[in-house]
Amino acid sequence: MSSTGSSYLIQGETGDWEVVIGLEVHAQISSKSKLFSGASAEYGGGPNEHVSIVDAAMPGMLPVINDYCVEQAVRTGLGLKAHINHYSVFERKNYFYADLPQGYQISQYAHPVVGEGTVILDMPDGTTRPIGIERLHMEQDAGKSMHDQDPKRSFIDLNRAGVALMEIVSKPDMRSPEEAGIYVRKLRSILRYLGTCDGNMEQGSMRADVNVSVRKAGEDLRTRCEIKNVNSVRFVMQAIETEARRQVEVWESGGEVQQETRLFDPNKGETRSMRSKEFAHDYRYFPDPDLLPLVLSHEYVDAIAADLPELPDEKKERFMTEYGLSAYDAGVLVVDRDTADYYERVARGGDPKKGRDAKQAANWVISNLFGALNAAGKSINDSPVSADQLGQLLDLIADDTISGRIAKDVFEEMVATSKDPGDIVEEKGLKQITDTGAIEAAVDQVIADNPDQVADVKGGNEKAIGWFVGQVMKATQGKANPGVVNKLLRDKLVG
């Protein structure tokens, strides 16, 4: 089912305001070298170390495109269920800035390599919400200016200049900060599944330009503002909230929202105008005469499509049908590819025929394992409990070797020691008692010791049996098989 979108509204003095959000996400293509030069695209490095004479825009230097980057852009387009344009053109976006050596950015404008597509948001209530993708194009990243090293000068480092980016532009389909946050996370998840971008926002390999406008219900779009280079999901959501409220105030105080580029300051919790970049803007795009149109054959695109991995949405569908998981559980498990793989290993013991209780497996991964990992601040990849070990634990429950209660203690021990559950059960002698004789003795003892409660039960209060079960389990340190205990008590008390 597809939800109509969260009902996030801003209450103003003149009534409720809807927020309209579109995102332009810049994702760095994980390539060894830059888009048009052979310099390293690796993060970091000493000042101007990952810079070639092409990146420094020395006279007479020319761009030659990186084949791998083209392939990753197409892969990403296919992963976004988008239309791949077999003919696309690189253009020059002309403007002067200290970190832009050529005086223009090589980008794609009129003819991007990828056209319209869709990203499905998985809402917390289990519903989904499709967000339109307008386009994806390839372009060069700019260098870095440092303004606080020197009183009179800014320092320029071109290590990032020319690094390959994919600009992924959404349609203005989002209506709340929450949706925007979910969109960025989902996009990052897809990029990581595809392996086309590491999605590392701290290192700037994923950055968002956020377009925000507000309007009264049923109105056409009002003027939008673009908040540039927001570098975390949290900030994206905060920036939208702040900017939307600012715009509501402007409108309601009888003002006009100006279309402009703004900057989000997380410390001050405000957005402010970047007029410096605005003045006399005119990018004068035109096809880069140093490059020819990028023409992709159908064979080329089909070959890339053929080896796409299973993506989050398909995986989620499969987990729901194949394992009978709820939309929510499936959604949680597929966010990260390694988690999904871990879960499947637990659920199937690596062997399709030997199926385990898949729902139980999901519960253990989501509540117990995630809990333990969060507590230890660890990722699924360095989990102290391997998927096989967790699987073995589920097997011990399934064949009645231990009860669910004991299993929780065993799991804690596994987290602490990374030992196999079997060994832990042996060492600590936690094997469940299924020998009826031993259990019957304990049952008789408890009955003998509590005549009043016995009377109570015989008097018709069958619920009280639960109390007896508890007593027997206590007497056997929880090792008695609860099923057996129950049966004996019923035979003896209810008859």
Partner 1 sequence: MADDLTKLTIAEARSGLQSGAFSSVELTDAHIAAGEANRALNVYVTETPEIARNAAKTADDRRTDGRVAGAMDGIPIAMKDLFCTEGVQTTASSHILEGFKPTYESTVGGNLKAAGAVMLGKSNMDEFAMGSATITSYFGDTINPWQAASGPDAGKDLVPGGSSGGSAAAVAARIALGATGTDTGGSIRQPASFTGIVGMKPTYGRCSRWGIVAFASSLDQAGPMTRTVRDSAIMLGAMAGHDPKDSTSAPVETPDFESAVGESIKGLRVGIPEEYTAEGMPDEITRLWEQGAAWLKDQGAEIVDVTLPHTKYALPTYYIVAPAEASANLARYDGVRYGFRAHGETLDEMYMNTRGEGFGTEVQRRVLIGAYVLSAGYYDAYYVKAQKVRSRIAEDFRKAFEDVDVLLTPTAPSPAFAIGAEMSPVEMYLNDVFTVPASLAGLPGISVPAGLSASGLPLGLQMIAKPFDELTLFRAAAALEEAAGFELPAFDPRGA
Partner 2 sequence: MALDADTVRKIAFLARIRVDDDRLEPLAKELDGILGWIEQLGEVDTDGVEPMTSVADLTLPRRADAVTDGNDPEKVLANAPDPVEAFYTVPKVVE
| Stretch in the footprint of partner 1 (CB under 8 A) among 289-297, 376-384, 386-394, 476-484 | 289-297
In the window 98-157, what residues touch partner 2 (CB under 8 A)?
Answer: 98, 145-147, 149-157
Give the residue closest to Mg ion by C-beta.
24
Q: Which of 177, 192, 173, 280 is nearest to 230 (CA)?
A: 177
Q: Residues 318-321: contacts with CB within 8 Å, 24+ apart?
A: 319/343
226 binds Mg ion (CB under 5 A): no
φ, ψ of residue 221 in degrees (nearest 5): -65, 140
d(CA 52, CA 101): 12
Q: Which is nearer to partner 2, 32 or 234 (CB)?
A: 32
Q: How far is the CB of 237 from partner 2 (least distance, A)?
A: 23
274 binds partner 2 (CB under 8 A): yes
* Residues with Cβ within 8 Å of residue 344, at least 6 apart in sequence: none
Provide the β-strand partners of residue 9: 18
Q: Which is nearer to Mg ion, 167 or 179 (CB)?
A: 167
Q: How far is the CB of 167 from Mg ion (least distance, A)?
A: 6
DSSP of 389-432, one letter per residue? HHHHHHHHHHTTSS-HHHHHHHHHHHHHH---HHHHHHHHT-PP
d(CA 61, CA 273): 36
CA-derived radius of gyration, the chain: 30
Q: Are 179 and 7 in contact (CB under 8 A)?
A: no
- Contacted entry of Zn ion, Mg ion, partner 1, none for residue 286, CB cut-off 5 to 8 Å set by kind: partner 1
Q: Are 207 and 230 in contact (CB under 8 A)?
A: yes
Q: Which is nearer to partner 1, 57 or 320 (CB)?
A: 57
24 binds Mg ion (CB under 5 A): yes
d(CA 495, CA 478): 25
320 binds partner 1 (CB under 8 A): no
Count interface residues toward partner 1 (CB under 8 A).
Answer: 30
d(CA 180, CA 193): 20
Provide the β-strand partners of residue 2: 128
| Stretch in the footprint of partner 1 (CB under 8 A) among 14-22, 280-288, 385-393, 483-491 | 280-288
151 binds partner 1 (CB under 8 A): no
Report how far apart, in Å, the C-alpha atoms of 5 and of each of 2, 236, 387 are.
Answer: 8, 18, 37
Count interface residues toward Zn ion (CB under 5 A).
Answer: 1
Q: How far is the CB of 101 from partner 1 (least distance, A)?
A: 6
173 binds Zn ion (CB under 5 A): no
10 binds partner 2 (CB under 8 A): no
d(CA 26, CA 35): 14
Q: Which is nearer to partner 2, 94 or 436 (CB)?
A: 94
- Contacted entry of Zn ion, partner 1, partner 2, none for residue 14, CB cut-off 5 to 8 Å set by kind: none
- Contacted entry of partner 2, Zn ion, partner 1, none for residue 167, CB cut-off 5 to 8 Å set by kind: Zn ion
286 binds partner 1 (CB under 8 A): yes
| Stretch in the footprint of partner 2 (CB under 8 A) among 12-20, 73-81, 180-188, 281-289 | 281-289
Provide the β-strand partners of residue 433: 480
d(CA 203, CA 160): 11
Q: Which is nearer to partner 1, 64 or 376 (CB)?
A: 64
- Contacted entry of partner 1, partner 2, Zn ion, none for residue 68, CB cut-off 5 to 8 Å set by kind: partner 2
Q: Which is nearer to partner 1, 152 or 353 (CB)?
A: 152
104 binds partner 1 (CB under 8 A): yes
Distance between first and last Cα of the chain: 51
- Maximum Cα–Cα distance across the chain: 101
Q: Which of 9, 120, 156, 320 binds partner 1 (CB under 8 A)?
A: 156
d(CA 67, CA 33): 10
Q: Which residues bind partner 2 (CB under 8 A)?
A: 31-33, 37-40, 46-56, 58, 64-70, 89, 94, 96, 98, 145-147, 149-158, 263, 274, 276, 280, 282, 284, 287, 289, 291-295
Q: Which residues bind partner 1 (CB under 8 A)?
A: 53, 56-65, 92, 94, 96-98, 101-104, 154, 156, 282, 284-286, 289-292
